[in-house]
Amino acid sequence: MYYSFPCSYCSKVFFTFDRNKEAAARKLYEGIKAHLVEYNEDHKEYNFDDPPKMEISQMYYAMFESNNPIPGGYEL
């Protein structure tokens, strides 16, 4: 299953393929957090400021599921 979630600052959609939804949420969180740090946007937004466990849990319930890759998305 493909799972996706948008960056909280720039709205780019990131996606990953995984059979385990929790592992996918963790991978999306880590990828988006790294993206924010790399582009010096981490201090400009507040959605990823909670402890990682809490953020991953929230992402788990909010991410989009699809049988196909997300067109125009960024694969992690």
Gap between the Cα atoms of 59 and 5, Å rounded: 8
Q: Which residues pair with 75 in a beta bridge?
A: 15
pTM of the model as a whole = 0.84
Among 32, 24, 27, 9, residue whose Cα is nearest residue 66 = 24
Gap between the Cα atoms of 51 and 15, Å rounded: 21
pLDDT (tens digit, 9 = 90+) per residue, 46-75?
A: 566 666 788 888 889 999 999 999 898 999
Range of the domain at 17: 2-75
Domain count, the chain: 1
Instruction: Give me Rg for the CA atoms of the chain.
Output: 12
Among 70, 54, 73, residue whose Cα is nearest residue 62 = 54
Q: Which two tokens stand for residue 72?
A: 């125009």
